Amino acid sequence: MKNILIASTSTLANEDYLAYLLPELQLHFKNCSTILFIPYARPGGISHEEYTNSVALAFAKINKKVIGIHEFEDAALAVKSAEGIFTGGGNTFVLVSQLHKNNVMAILSQVIKNGTPYLGTSAGSNICGLTMQTTNDMPIVYPPSFQTLGVVPFNLNPHYLDPDTNSKHMGETRETRIKEFHAFNSLPVLGLREGSWLDVKGDSTTLKGNLTARLFRQNQTPVELESGTDLSFIK
């Protein structure tokens, strides 16, 4: 049975890394003593070691040990034998490139579908969708494919941001970008605002946190979904 948390962001303004999620993570990873961390997204280009160390500090608060996937010789085997898995944020292009190059994408999707508890934040959440094509990130490396885990049957836009109605900037708003995605693609896209997360338990997907989420479908007006809503209708 799938057991997945898909969080818009790891960190809320003026809070510690993962702080707002720790009570949830204690439950989510209750049967895990060690979490396999996938640091491939390398925010700001930091090393796998640095990133893993900072994640270990946060998980120490709920008495979980963290091991980085880069510490294993066989990354696929590490995924297969993990008790629980966390993929952190950073750059989605870097993350997806590395997952494909290390042949981890397919096996990661498989173990998540088979029930290994998974947490994604930001880029680590984006890859839960069918493709990474609704990421906000810069294409700083060229990945071999835009295909991702597909553990939910739609795409995600983490850090979803409402248009700034006072802005005179002529660059596209997030909504305009997603609309442009739908000029070329038919997958539904869920915009998850910071502080929101999805709790996937088997076939049920519940929106958590205090905010609404915004659902975009091709050729339809976007709709706001209330926290607590079962989102299993989105496909």
- Contacting residues toward a second copy, per CB under 8 A: 9, 11-14, 42-45, 90-91, 93-94, 132-142, 145-146, 159, 161, 168-172, 176-185, 194
Q: Which is nearer to a second copy, 27 or 140 (CB)?
A: 140
In the complex, minimum distance from the CB of residue 174 to a second copy, in angstroms, rounded to a whole number: 9
- Please tell me which residue in 10, 28, 109, 159 is annotated as part of the active site: 159
Residue 54 is a catalytic residue: no
**DSSP one-letter code for 207:** E
In the complex, minimum distance from the CB of residue 14 to a second copy, in angstroms, rounded to a whole number: 8
Query: How distant is the alpha carbon of residue 37 from its chain centre?
Result: 13
In the complex, minimum distance from the CB of residue 221 to a second copy, in angstroms, rounded to a whole number: 15
Residue 159 is a catalytic residue: yes
Q: Which is nearer to a second copy, 169 or 235 (CB)?
A: 169
Residue 203 is a catalytic residue: no
In the complex, minimum distance from the CB of residue 13 to a second copy, in angstroms, rounded to a whole number: 4
Q: Which is nearer to a second copy, 82 or 192 (CB)?
A: 192
Backbone angles phi, psi at 6, to 5 degrees: -120, 100
Q: Enumerate residues 6+ apart whose C-beta is below 8 A from 43.
A: 51, 88, 89, 90, 91
Q: Enumerate residues 6+ apart whose C-beta is below 8 A from 6.
A: 120, 125, 128, 152, 156, 192, 197, 198, 200
Q: Which is nearer to a second copy, 25 or 123 (CB)?
A: 123
Q: Which is nearer to a second copy, 110 or 136 (CB)?
A: 136
Q: What tokens does 33 get?
A: 């003593």
Report yes or no: 27 and 64 within 8 Å, Cβ to Cβ. no
**CA max distance for the chain:** 52
Q: Enumerate residues 6+ apart whose C-beta is below 8 A from 69.
A: 36, 37, 38, 39, 40, 75, 78, 79, 104
Report yes or no: 121 and 9 within 8 Å, Cβ to Cβ. yes
- Please tell me which residue in 8, 70, 137, 196 is annotated as part of the active site: 137
- Please tell me which residue in 10, 122, 125, 196 is annotated as part of the active site: 122
In the complex, minimum distance from the CB of residue 110 to a second copy, in angstroms, rounded to a whole number: 23
Q: Which residues are annotated as catalytic?
A: 122, 137, 159
